Amino acid sequence: MLPRLLRALCFLLLVAPLGLPVQEARAQNAPPEKPKVTRILFLLDASGSMMAPWEGQPRWEVAKRMLSKMVDSLNAYPNLELGLRVYGHQYPNSEKNCQDSKLEVAFAPRNAAAIKKKLTTLKAQGNTPITYSLEQSANDFPTDKQSRNVLLLITDGLESCNRDPCAASIALQRKHVFLKPFVIGIGAERDFGKQLECLGQYYNAAEVKTFRTVMNDVIAKTLSKTTVSVNLTDANGKPVETNVNMTFVNNVTEQPEYNYVHYRDAQGKADVLDIDALQSYDLVINTVPPVRQANIPITPGKANVLTYKTPQGTLWLQNPPLSPNPYGTIRAVVRTPAGATVTAGTFGTRQKLLAGNYEVEALTLPRTIRRLTIKQGQEYTFTYDAPGTLNITSDLKGYGSIYQLNDDESQTWIYDLPQGGSSKINLPMQPGAYRLVFRTATSNGSKYTDVRNFSIRSGQTTSVAIFGK
């Protein structure tokens, strides 16, 4: 039987995940229609090496005895089903059979007696086809999107069929066949944990008493309820930020497991979220730019409180007071000082940003670029000068560009006229000094290039005439 403390813990914590409907938060966060079933598949190594002695008795006998006690103690729990798959037990090791794996006891409620009886009839003798067994386990779990599928591998050896069990495990997790598996490596002869920990959460049970403790710990983690509260704070650590999208990303499969919009009640307290602790997560706080916390610390069976600083201010993209605006709709690009694009917005809107330094580029002609600092709880107003209009009056077709004239008498290219098309255009531009360089399509030499300087003033139209040579 499980130790008294563990049985009490499982009874208290099993109510929510196994007995009462709770808010389902996978992907769409849809609530289940009925209590969620937890299914535990024991994947047991029965290869020939399991007959090696372990503290005076074969590993195989220790593993069977411990597993029998475990399933017996779990038999009465509601909404819990157990199954048993064994590998390496049907053919002798000399045959090197890489498909020696069988579901010996299918999932069913209260089936401890069937598992115990089956264990008495099996013998350890064969190969170690771990990858094949993992792949076959996909057919063992019933098709039930609301269930929690857990796999517990008990082994004393590595894959012996020249395949990659880690890749198979990740592929099955991505397909939601099972959650991140538990792997118990038994026996002290070989330290193969480094090669098995990629399969899932690895435990090294070098001693018999450690094996017993590890199995109890795995079951407690599987059946306990875990919650997470996320505090989003300002720069001073005050929990004031909220209404931010948060994504819990499975950092093994890299798939989103939970999507939430952060909520804080009237007393300023963040709400409590039910999170399956059998996964490991990165938390993406979808501020602008996002904050990603790798491998967030979640303790199974506990009420976890996580705190992260996400101070935010507001960028107000304000159009100048000019109606109608000849630009129409203008967009702006927000970048980090290093040049990485953070977001893009439309003038006339507000955008929350993490406190920090940014470069904002308004897509005017020419571009309006400004460096600014967003501060916690404050609003920064960014605008551009009211434009004027350049009117080119000639009907001549040709080729040309517009340059901005700088204070040091240099020029900067800003615009190419439509190539070979009509030069009759009306172009909204920012106030300033400019130069038009143009050659007609009928000219027979570069020397016939026409150069005209002009100025643009807010709200006014500047006409520039082009003459053929």
3-state secondary structure 40-79: EEEEEECEHHHHCEECCEEHHHHHHHHHHHHHHHHCCCCC
- Between CA 428 and CA 367 the distance in angstroms is 12
* Residue 324 confidence (pLDDT): 73
Give the tens place of pLDDT for each residue, 216-254.
888 888 888 899 999 999 988 999 899 999 999 999 889
DSSP 8-state symbol, 206: -
4-223 matches 313-382 in fold = no
Residue among 111, 109, 159, 116 nearest 134 (CA):
159
Q: Is the pLDDT of residue 7 over 50?
A: no
- Percent of the chain exceeding pLDDT 90 equals 65
Instruction: Quote the pLDDT of residue 216.
Output: 87
**Is the pLDDT assigned to residue 201 strictly greater than 60?**
yes
* Superfamily for the 227-310 domain: Carboxypeptidase-like, regulatory domain (2.60.40.1120)
Return the CATH class of domain 4-223: alpha beta
Distance CA 133, CA 131 (A): 5
Digit-coded pLDDT (tens) for 252-267: 889 999 999 999 998 8
β-bridge mates for residue 372, sequence order: 358
Strand partners, 333: 344, 361
Which has the minimum average pLDDT: 78-92, 185-199, 327-341?
185-199
Residue 146: per-residue pLDDT: 82
Q: Which CATH superfamily is domain 388-464 in?
A: Transthyretin/hydroxyisourate hydrolase domain (2.60.40.180)
Q: Is the pLDDT of residue 328 over 70?
A: yes
Q: In this predicted structure, what is the pLDDT of residue 313?
A: 95
Task: Write down the pLDDT at residue 34.
Answer: 67
Q: Are 8 and 51 in contact (CB under 8 A)?
A: no
Local confidence band at 422 (pLDDT 50, 70, 90 cut-offs):
low
pLDDT digits (tens, 9 = 90+) for 346-382: 999 999 999 999 999 999 999 999 999 999 999 999 9
The token duo for 55 is 């503290």
pLDDT score recorded for residue 29: 56
What pLDDT was estimated at residue 12?
Answer: 35
pLDDT score at 16: 35
Per-residue confidence band for 131, with pLDDT thresholds at 50, 70 and 90: very high
Tell me the DSSP string of 150-186.
Answer: EEEEEESS---SS--HHHHHHHHHHTTSSSSPEEEEE
Which range, of 56-65, 166-175, 413-422, 453-462, averages the lowest pLDDT?
A: 413-422
Share of the chain above pLDDT 70, in %: 90
**In the chain, where the domains are located:** 4-223, 227-310, 313-382, 388-464
Quick one: pLDDT at residue 10? 40
Mean pLDDT over the full length of the chain: 87
Report the alpha-carbon distance of residue 334 to residue 319 in Å, rounded. Answer: 16
By residue count, the chain amounts to 469
pLDDT band at residue 469 using 50, 70 and 90 as cut-offs: low
**What's the CA gap between 372 and 362, in Å, rounded?**
13
Q: Looking at residue 90, what is its pLDDT?
A: 94
The whole-model pTM stands at: 0.78
- pLDDT (tens digit per residue) in 293-323: 999 999 988 999 999 999 999 999 999 987 6
**Dist. CA 53–CA 62, nearest whole Å:** 10
Compute the distance between CA of residue 283 and CA of residue 230 in angstroms, rounded to an integer.
Answer: 10
pLDDT of residue 6: 40
What one-character DSSP code corresponds to residue 268? S
Give me the architecture of the 313-382 domain, per CATH.
Answer: Sandwich (2.60)
Neighbours of 262 (CB within 10 A): 19
pLDDT in tens, 58-107: 999 999 999 999 999 998 888 899 999 999 999 999 999 999 999 999 99
Checking if the pLDDT of 341 tops 80, the result is yes
- Looking at residue 22, its pLDDT comes to 37
Structure tokens at 398: 């040709």
Return d(Cα 63, Cα 350) in angstroms, integer: 62
The pLDDT tens digits of the residues spanning 278-292 come to: 899 999 999 999 999
- Whole-number pLDDT of residue 423: 55
Establish whether the linkage from the previous residue to 431 is cis, with ω within 30° of 0: no
431-447 pLDDT, tens digit per residue, is 999 999 999 888 889 99
User: What pLDDT score does 440 carry?
Assistant: 86
